[in-house]
Amino acid sequence: MPRGTPQPIIDRLNREANAICAEPQTIERVTSVGARLRGGTPADFARFIAAENTRWAEVIRRSGAKVD
């Protein structure tokens, strides 16, 4: 969300997203393509993204990949 989004809006969207992730048809659809749902809080998501950035930055650095 854009910086400055009011906390009540963030909280509401988070509740709604978690509710959708808990629906059986959502779980079935996502797992059918080999993915896994991770509900949680905005802080949980921020930690996940930070960890993924660190993880994949190291993979890219070791591979020597360059952007043309």
Nearby residues of 27 by Cβ (< 8 Å), 6 or more positions away: 21, 37
pLDDT at 43: 93
- Per the CB < 8 A criterion, the answer to whether 40 and 21 are in contact is no
Q: Tell the residue number behind the tokens 């992730």, with chain if given.
A: 21
pTM more than 0.75 = no
Mean pLDDT of the chain: 94
Each residue's pLDDT tens digit, 21-50: 999 999 999 999 999 998 899 999 999 999
